[in-house]
Structure 1
């Protein structure tokens, strides 16, 4: 049986994905000793998240939120099917992946916004400079660190999910995120 390849992950989604990986890890591991790198990586991550939100409305079929958002119940049933090795294969995002995208975007946005507040309160710099009191700086710093650490946990769960999904459906999802193509033989998609 021959498999027809179809472009699922367009260039903007792939560039976004791998750029965000790089920006997040630079920001995560740079912090105080390399504050300039940390700040610019944070700005980059925040800009990428805003781009992805916009692209979720105007991008290709598989990038659009309308194509993959589903109820939490649907995602839970899908996760149970994956664990039983009987989950349906999707060309685009599966229901669990859809919720992971929502959670990642949300916590990356919270990480960026709390970082902007901390930067303004601690350094008097950034777009919020002069608008943020130092009074709650410690609280915002804790919130920023929590969001960054929770995002890292989500990243680990995302990678484990990609590996499990690749095993269950016998396809290399990491490679497809590089070149954008997947086999098109999918039921009911």
Structure 2
């Protein structure tokens, strides 16, 4: 039975940021790159606000990756019976936070590269490049994990992020 999971703002910010990241990773590093970087940071910040005031499954309280949630989820993976979560699973939540942090720090390091105070300094550009590589790695892990977990749990997570609905079965156990 389909259950509404992701609201329109969660899906818009997810796919908006994803599109910007792809453009900025593979497109030219020009003024459009800079503007899109700031837009991505703005979308991430708005998603963080939505994590406090948004719909039930969008709120941090539904998916924040606490130690106990992570430990319990890792145990379920080790037994071959991953827990079902209507919102992010704890590892997915940890990845979301990591991606958001990388995007925000990329925006700050990109901004710093344009400041007179750092004119002639190499470290802001080196930091920006390293953060970009870290983001690329995390994006690949994120996509691969979504595919693997979709196959393993027979729950199309990518479709859920497009449509807003997840398949929910009582046999999978309660959702935290």
Deviation at 1:159, TM superposition (A): 0.8
User: Conserved in 2, the CA contact under 8 Å of 1:162 and 1:174?
Assistant: yes
4+ runs of 1 displaced by more than 6 Å?
Answer: none
Aligned partners of 1:145 and 1:72: how far apart in 2? 31
Superposed counterparts of 1:128-139, under 5 Å: 132-136=117-121, 138-139=122-123
1:164 corresponds, among 140, 145, 148, to 148
Bigger radius of gyration, 1 or 2?
Answer: 1
Deviation at 1:119, TM superposition (A): 2.7
Aligned partners of 1:36 and 1:8: how far apart in 2? 36
> Residues 117-152 of structure 1: CA distance to partner in whole angstroms, max 9, x if unpaired?
11334xxxxxxxxxx33153x100000111111011
- How big is the alpha-carbon RMSD for the aligned residues of Structure 1 and Structure 2? 1.7
> Residues 67-109 of structure 1: CA distance to partner in whole angstroms, max 9, x if unpaired?
1113246425524533553111111110110111111111111
Is the counterpart of residue 143 in structure 1 residue 127 in structure 2? yes
Is the counterpart of residue 174 in structure 1 residue 158 in structure 2? yes
Instruction: State the secondary structure of the residue aligned to 2:115.
Output: helix
Q: Give the structure-2-normalised TM-score.
A: 0.90
Distance 1:156 1:77, change over 3 A: farther
Instruction: State the secondary structure of the residue aligned to 1:93.
Output: coil
Aligned partners of 1:115 and 1:106: how far apart in 2? 14
Q: Greater shift after overlay, 65-74 or 165-174?
A: 65-74
Q: Which runs of 5+ in 2 are unaligned?
A: none
Aligned partners of 2:144 and 2:71: how far apart in 1? 16
Instruction: State the secondary structure of the residue aligned to 1:91.
Output: coil
Q: Give the structure-1-normalised TM-score.
A: 0.84
